[in-house]
Amino acid sequence: MASMKNLLIVESPTKARTIGKYLGADFEVLATVGHLRDLPKSKMGVDLKHDFEIDYQVDTGKKKVVSGLISAAAKAQNIYLATDPDREGEAIAWHVNWLLTQPETSNKKRVTRKEQKTNPKDTNSKISRISFHEITKSAVEEALLHAREVDMNLVDAQQGRRVLDRVVGYSLSPVLWKKVRRGLSAGRVQSVALRLIVEREKEILAFTREKYYKVTAELTKDCYGGEPLAMTFNADLFKVDDKSAYISDKMKLFDGEYTYTKSVFGTRAEVDKFVGELKSEFVVSQLNERETTRHPLPPYTTSKLQQAGGRRFGWSGKQTMTLAQRLYERGLITYHRTDSVNLSEKAIEEFRKYISKEFGEQYVAEKVRVFKNTSKNAQEAHEAIRPTSVANKNPDGLDAKELKLYQLIWKRAVATQAASAKLKNTTAVFTNLPAGKAGGRAQFKSIGVSMLFDGFLRIAEEKFEEEVLPLMKEGDVIKSKKVNVEESETNPPPRYSDASLVQSLEKQGIGRPSTYASIISTILARQYVERDEGKYRPTALGVAVVEFLVKNFLNIVSLPFTAEMEEELDQVAMGKVNWKKMMRKFWEKFEGEVKSVEQTANRVKVAVEKTGEKCPDCKDGDLVIRLGRFGKFVSCDRFPDCKYTAQYKEAAGFMCPTCGKEGVVRKTKTGRKFYGCSDYPNCKWAGWKKP
């Protein structure tokens, strides 16, 4: 008779294959393929009258997976639950444990309250939980030596978040149906993210642009090598009559402050008069040289990785996290859902040895470099994101995007243990003596930077451009080739990009790093916002939803309240707060608010955008742009009396280079803008840029 195998259970088939290579024939590795049990999709699934009891149901599409796990578990000697090392993974492990210890309930459509209450802990001693933060042979083997029970504090934190979000969503959505538009839904954290975008749009519209003029000088200095040479460089005006040439102003924003600057010249006449008084010669009045040091940044956390993916490659948070998930499951990087900047001692030692061997001892930091986390509500249990093997700089089998992300992670993590870069900064101040003036009226500044030692920049492969100034000394007279005047204007605070929205959510302590991508995807899918050239702007529907929520459920969409709820969930995870007690406290107030709003709140009308054209059918109505299930469309404002509709086509401002008809703006499923022909499908010209 063959000996019994050990069973190890993970979520992902890819993860199962990777771990299967490390473990011998004594192990069978199977995957749950995500969650097996969850709240029902068609109803709340939380009993508000019986202390928030949860009606968990087995996913109908996972019946075969569940049966396979139960069958394998019955034949296994030991069962190890090796789901991801976070609250979600701990909850999945708990659900698997529940199904394996009570197999008779796995095929039931509904489980009784008595069965739900059954705690699987200690009912099957051969089931245990293991966790690891990297999928390597040594990490998995080490985890098997430290098997434990499922951490119910983490499970309760996940259940608390799930129930809180479900209760808020299922309570608010019917109200939105009645008071705004049918078919709408709201979420606890998503609504706050939406409010950030809506408030930013209001701040942009409220901003008053002001013209101003910048002054720069093209200076030239004779240099002497074998023959006379002239070197041209630029200098910026920074002082006028010993006062700054620029004025800073601040604007209070919903999520902080926005600082902008303008010059002291508000009219063309003022700047022309000033420039007209300048002499063609400048005197070097100050010359300072100093050595500066530039240090490497911390290794990536989840939020910083999403920000880097957005800024460097134009990826959405969802795309970055999907790629990171693939790298993790293949055993190439440590767990990618983390807000810790810590590195293990083993990893630090490997990085330092690698740098010494590949680049020389002078490139290794004198002391082990450690970083302090400044993120709000940061959890330090995990490591930062890093490669599992420093020697594996260019792994085989990755596609172009996976390799880009992997190398980004590799360079950032390894560079943390490299020596700082050393630079030489030269600051030169030039004084211009206008005609008829006794003292220096105008001061210009030029800054030069040169590399003394590249240090970590060599490992990180960061580009560095030197700004070289000619050799000069105080008192030298420098001639000006030209003084330039550039018209500019103050800019409003920018719309959120993927990176800046994630940065704001992290700064305010809203959501967890692992939820940022899904938060943004959700408000996009609900058509509350649209992505335009990588920036988010609210739709009329999104504005109406926020207007209603702010007026009637201010707490739900306030930054402090949302951050406080995250802190309470963290307290649950640490075993300091009972999640049902947290829910009771929240529901006592929220239930009354919902009932009051249903009875007394006024309906909010969704604004529509007029096209300026008359309806071709009824001739009386105006054509307006509406938002439907599949995006924007054109209809008559007399609907339902007139039912005219047409496809919405946003003019691109050029004619199709192939057929000559009007070009239009289109969008991919992910919201990325591209250009096409209005005569599609007869003409299939398309491109990312205007021709």
Task: Please identify every residue annotated as catalytic.
Answer: 335
**Residue 122 DSSP SS3:** coil
Q: Are strands 6-10 and 79-81 parallel, antiparallel or unpaired?
A: parallel
* Token reading at 337: 């859902």
**Strands of 370-470, DSSP E:** 421-432, 442-453
Q: Is the Cα dihedral 156, 157, 162, 165 positive or negative?
A: positive
Alpha helices in 553-656 (DSSP H): 559-573, 579-600
Q: How far apart are CA 150 and CA 98, in angstroms?
A: 11
Q: How far apart are CA 317 and CA 322, in angstroms?
A: 9
Answer left, alpha or beta for residue 483, where phi above 0 means left and psi between -120 and 50 means alpha: beta
Give the angle 305-311-316 at the CA atoms, nearest 5°: 70
**Residue 234 DSSP SS3:** strand
Find residue 333's DSSP bridge partners: 387
> Phi first, then psi: what are they for 680, rounded to 5°?
-60, 140
**Residue 394 DSSP SS3:** coil
**Residue 216 identity (one-letter amino acid):** T
Judge contact between 8 and 27, C-beta under 8 A: yes
Judge contact between 221 and 470, C-beta under 8 A: yes
Judge contact between 543 and 592, C-beta under 8 A: no
* Token reading at 145: 């030596």
Nearest by Cα to 688 from 533, 516, 489, 511: 533
Can you spell out the DSSP letters for 505-572? HHHHT-S-GGGHHHHHHHHHHTTSEEEETTEEEE-HHHHHHHHHHHHH-TTTT-HHHHHHHHHHHHHH
